[in-house]
Structure 1
Amino acid sequence: MSIASRVPICSKLLRLLKHQNPQNHAYFLHSSIENPSNAESPKIDLSSSSSIVTQIVEILKSNDNESWKTNQELSNLLFSDSNSLSSNHILQITRRLGDSSTALNFVEHLRSNSPCPDDNLLSSAFQAVFELASRKPSWKEKLFDLLNTSIEMGVPLKVNSVILFIQCLGRVGMTEKLMMMYNELESQLKITHVRNALIDQLLRNGCFVDALQVLDDMLQPNVDFPPNSNTAAIVFSVMLEARKHGKGLSWEELVELALKFGRHRVFPDTVLLTQWITELCRARKIDMAWKLLIAFMELDGPVEVAPYNALLAGLAKDRQFKRMEELLEEMLAKGISANVVTLGISINHLCKSFKIDEAINLFEKMRNGKISAHIEPDVIIYNTLINGLCKVGRAEEVLAMMRKMISEGKCSPISSTYNCLIDGFCKVDEVERSLELFDEMEKQGVQPNVVTINTLVGGMCRDGKAGNALKFYRQMEGKGLKGNKVTYTTLISGFCGVNNINKAMELFKEIRQTCALDAIVYYSLISGLSQAELMADVESVLFEMKSAGFLPDIRCYNVMINGFCKKNKLDKAHQLLEEMKEVGLEPDSITYNTLISYFSRTGDLKPARRLLIQMVENKIAPTVVTFGALIYACCRAGELDEAMKIFKKMSSSSRTPPNTVVYNVLIDALCQKNELGKALSLFEDMIAKGVGPDSSTFNALFKGLRDENKLDKALELMGKMTELDCHPDYITMEILTEWLPAVGEDDKLKQFVEVYR
Structure 2
Amino acid sequence: MLAQSKLLRLRHHHRLLPSRFSPLRRCHSECPSSSPAELTATQAVEVLHQWDFDQLRPFLFEASHHLPQIIVRLNSIPKAVDFLNYLRDKAERPQQALSYAFEGALQLASRHPNSQQHLLMLHTYRKSYLSNISLTAKSAYLLLQCLGKAQMLDDSLLLFNELDPSSTSSLISKLRGLFKSGRTHDALHLLDEMLDDFTGEVVFGELGRRDHRGRDFADEDIVGLVTKQCEHGVFPDAFKLTQMITTLCRNRKNVVAWELLHGVMRLGGAVAVEAASCNALLAGLGRERDIQRMNILMAEMEEMRIKPSVVTFGILVNNLCKARRIDEALEVFDKLKGKGEGNRVGVEPDVILYNTLIDGLCKVGREDHGLSLLEEMKTKKQCRPNAVTYNCLIDGFCKAGKIGKACKLYSQMINEEVKPTVVTLNTLVDGLCKHGKVHRAVEFFNEMKGKGLKGSTVTYTTLISAFCGVNNIDKAMQYFDEMLSSGCSPDAIIYYSLISGLSIAGRMDDASAVVSKLKQAGFGLDIACYNVLISGFCKKKKPERVYEMLEEMEKIGVKPDIVTYNTLVSYLGKIGDFRSARKLMKRMLEEGLQPSVVTYGAIIQAYCLKKNVGMAMMIFEKMCSTSKVPPNTVIYNILIDALCKNNNVEKAISLMDDMKIKGVRPNTTTYNAILKGVRDKKMLQKAFELMNRMIEDACRPDYITMEILTEWLDAVGEIEKLKHFVQGYPAPSPASSQTSISF
- The alignment's TM-score, normalised by the length of structure 1, stands at 0.65
Alignment of 1:120-269 (within 5 A): 120=127, 158-167=159-168, 170=169, 178=170, 198-199=171-172, 202-203=175-176, 213=186, 215-216=188-189, 227=195, 230-241=198-209, 244-247=212-215, 249-264=217-232, 266-269=234-237
2:312 & 2:631 partners in 1: Cα distance?
Answer: 47
- The SS at the match of 1:585 is coil
Determine if contact 1:535/1:564 at 8 Å carries over to the other structure. Answer: yes
Larger gyration radius, structure 1 or structure 2: 2
1:253 to 1:645, Cα distance in 2 relative to 1, 3 A: farther
Determine if contact 2:182/2:215 at 8 Å carries over to the other structure. Answer: no
Determine if contact 1:414/1:446 at 8 Å carries over to the other structure. Answer: yes
1:235 Cα deviation from its structure 2 partner: 0.6
Determine if contact 2:678/2:687 at 8 Å carries over to the other structure. Answer: yes
The aligned residue for residue 541 of structure 1 is: 514
Alignment of 1:418-437 (within 5 A): 418-437=390-409
2:238 & 2:726 partners in 1: Cα distance?
Answer: 77
Letter in 2 for 1:275: Q
- The SS at the match of 1:161 is coil
The aligned residue for residue 530 of structure 1 is: 503
1:721 to 1:485, Cα distance in 2 relative to 1, 3 A: same
1:451 Cα deviation from its structure 2 partner: 1.4
The aligned residue for residue 284 of structure 2 is: 314
1:745 and 2:713 matched: no
1:631 Cα deviation from its structure 2 partner: 5.3
The aligned residue for residue 440 of structure 2 is: 468
1:200 & 1:735 partners in 2: Cα distance?
Answer: 95
2:214 & 2:702 partners in 1: Cα distance?
Answer: 65
Which deviates more, 379-388 or 734-743? 734-743
The aligned residue for residue 274 of structure 1 is: 242
The aligned residue for residue 286 of structure 1 is: 254
1:397 & 1:701 partners in 2: Cα distance?
Answer: 55
- The alignment's TM-score, normalised by the length of structure 2, stands at 0.66
Structure 2, unaligned runs of 5 or more: 1-14, 31-92, 100-123, 141-155, 731-743
Letter in 1 for 2:435: D
1:562 to 1:645, Cα distance in 2 relative to 1, 3 A: same
1:359 & 1:717 partners in 2: Cα distance?
Answer: 54
1:443 Cα deviation from its structure 2 partner: 1.0
1:287-342 per-position Cα deviation (integer Å, ceiling 9, x unaligned): 33344345455556514444444333333323445555555566556665655434
1:354 & 1:455 partners in 2: Cα distance?
Answer: 22
Determine if contact 1:166/1:201 at 8 Å carries over to the other structure. Answer: no
The aligned residue for residue 68 of structure 1 is: none
1:260 Cα deviation from its structure 2 partner: 3.8
2:369 & 2:711 partners in 1: Cα distance?
Answer: 50
1:535 Cα deviation from its structure 2 partner: 0.8
Letter in 2 for 1:610: K
1:658 & 1:350 partners in 2: Cα distance?
Answer: 46
Question: Quick one: percent identity of the two aligned structures?
Answer: 42
1:719 & 1:361 partners in 2: Cα distance?
Answer: 54
Structure with greater contact order relative to length (CA < 8 Å, sep ≥ 6): 2
2:440 & 2:538 partners in 1: Cα distance?
Answer: 33
Number of paired residues? 593
1:232 & 1:401 partners in 2: Cα distance?
Answer: 47
Alignment of 1:79-158 (within 5 A): 119-120=126-127, 158=159
Alignment of 1:556-571 (within 5 A): 556-571=529-544
1:291 & 1:694 partners in 2: Cα distance?
Answer: 63
2:668 & 2:304 partners in 1: Cα distance?
Answer: 63
1:165 to 1:389, Cα distance in 2 relative to 1, 3 A: closer
Structure 1, unaligned runs of 5 or more: 20-104, 112-116, 131-142, 148-155, 171-177, 179-197, 220-224
Which deviates more, 255-264 or 364-373? 364-373
1:229 Cα deviation from its structure 2 partner: 5.4
Letter in 1 for 2:318: N
Determine if contact 1:243/1:250 at 8 Å carries over to the other structure. Answer: no
2:298 & 2:643 partners in 1: Cα distance?
Answer: 62
1:643-671 per-position Cα deviation (integer Å, ceiling 9, x unaligned): 24335556x47xxx766656665676678
1:185-205 per-position Cα deviation (integer Å, ceiling 9, x unaligned): xxxxxxxxxxxxx33663168
Determine if contact 2:191/2:199 at 8 Å carries over to the other structure. Answer: no
Determine if contact 1:519/1:551 at 8 Å carries over to the other structure. Answer: no
Letter in 1 for 2:728: F
- Given candidates 581, 584, 594, the residue that maps to 2:567 is 594
1:479 Cα deviation from its structure 2 partner: 0.9
1:453 Cα deviation from its structure 2 partner: 1.3
Determine if contact 2:553/2:559 at 8 Å carries over to the other structure. Answer: yes
The aligned residue for residue 90 of structure 2 is: none
1:686 and 2:677 matched: no
2:364 & 2:658 partners in 1: Cα distance?
Answer: 40
- The SS at the match of 2:378 is helix
1:48-71 per-position Cα deviation (integer Å, ceiling 9, x unaligned): xxxxxxxxxxxxxxxxxxxxxxxx
Determine if contact 2:180/2:214 at 8 Å carries over to the other structure. Answer: no
The aligned residue for residue 579 of structure 1 is: 552
1:496-555 per-position Cα deviation (integer Å, ceiling 9, x unaligned): 333333333333333222215344343333232222211111222323333444433333
1:614 to 1:473, Cα distance in 2 relative to 1, 3 A: same
Letter in 1 for 2:163: V
- The SS at the match of 2:533 is helix
1:311 to 1:209, Cα distance in 2 relative to 1, 3 A: closer
1:452-483 per-position Cα deviation (integer Å, ceiling 9, x unaligned): 11222223333344333233222211111111
The aligned residue for residue 469 of structure 2 is: 497
1:397-431 per-position Cα deviation (integer Å, ceiling 9, x unaligned): 43344334335666332212222222233334443
1:90-134 per-position Cα deviation (integer Å, ceiling 9, x unaligned): xxxxxxxxxxxxxxx9999x99xxxxx97437887678xx9xxxx
Which deviates more, 285-294 or 471-480? 285-294
1:441 to 1:318, Cα distance in 2 relative to 1, 3 A: same
1:440 & 1:122 partners in 2: Cα distance?
Answer: 85
Determine if contact 1:415/1:446 at 8 Å carries over to the other structure. Answer: yes
1:733 & 1:247 partners in 2: Cα distance?
Answer: 78
The aligned residue for residue 620 of structure 2 is: 643
- The SS at the match of 2:390 is helix
Determine if contact 2:181/2:213 at 8 Å carries over to the other structure. Answer: no
1:711 to 1:243, Cα distance in 2 relative to 1, 3 A: same
Determine if contact 2:204/2:241 at 8 Å carries over to the other structure. Answer: no
Which deviates more, 556-565 or 531-540? 556-565
The aligned residue for residue 514 of structure 1 is: 486
1:454 and 2:430 matched: no
1:567 & 1:202 partners in 2: Cα distance?
Answer: 72
1:238 Cα deviation from its structure 2 partner: 1.5
Letter in 1 for 2:663: M
1:679 to 1:448, Cα distance in 2 relative to 1, 3 A: same
1:265 to 1:164, Cα distance in 2 relative to 1, 3 A: closer
Letter in 2 for 1:161: E
1:340 & 1:627 partners in 2: Cα distance?
Answer: 61
